[in-house]
Structure 1
Amino acid sequence: MHLQNITTRLLRYNLWANERLTSWLMTLDRKILYTKTGSSFGTIDRTLQHIFFAQLYWHTILVKGQIKEFNDPEEEHIVEKIIAELMMSSQQLINDLSVLNQEQLIQIVQASDSTQSRYEYILHLVNHGSYHRGQIVTMCRALGITDEIPVTDYDAYLWWIENM
Structure 2
Amino acid sequence: MTKENIPFDMYNYHAWANQTILGRIRELPSSVLHQEVNSSYPTLAHALSHIYAVDQMWYLVLTGMEMPEAFQATLTLNERVLESVDAYESVYSELAQKFNAWFQSQPDLEQSVLLNNPFAGPRQTRFSEMILHVVNHGTYHRGNVTTMLRQLGHASTMNDYALYWYQQPAASLG
Whichever residue aligns with residue 83 of structure 2, its letter is I
CA contact (8 A) 1:65 1:109 kept: no
1:75 paired residue number: 80
Secondary structure of 1:37's match? coil
Q: Give the share of equivalent positions with the same residue, in percent.
A: 24
SS at match of 1:71: helix
Partner of 1:128: 137
Please, what TM-score do these two structures have when normalized by structure 1? 0.86
Unaligned runs of 5+ in 2: none
Q: 1:151 to 1:13 in 2, by over 3 A?
A: same
Q: Tell me, in whole angstroms, the C-alpha distance in 2 between the residues paired with 1:90 and 1:4.
A: 19
8 Å contact from structure 2 (residues 66, 115) kept in 1: yes
- The amino acid that maps onto 1:60 is L
Q: 1:97 to 1:150 in 2, by over 3 A?
A: same
Q: How many residues matched?
A: 161
Aligned to 1:151: 158
Partner of 2:40: 40
TM-fit CA distance, 1:3: 3.8
CA distance in 2, matches of 1:137, 1:163: 28
> By how many angstroms is 1:81 displaced?
2.1
Q: Could you say what secondary structure the match of 2:74 adopts?
A: coil
Which amino acid in structure 1 is aligned with residue 80 of structure 2?
Answer: E
Q: Any idea what SS the aligned residue of 1:41 has?
A: coil
Q: Give runs of aligned pairs for residues 58-137 of structure 1, distance below 5 A.
A: 58-67=58-67, 68=69, 69-73=72-76, 74-79=79-84, 80-102=86-108, 104-113=109-118, 114=121, 115=123, 116-137=125-146
More contact order relative to length (CA 8 Å, sep ≥ 6) = 1
| Alignment correspondent of 2:18 | 18
Structure 1: runs of 5 or more not aligned:
none
TM-score, structure 2 as length reference? 0.82
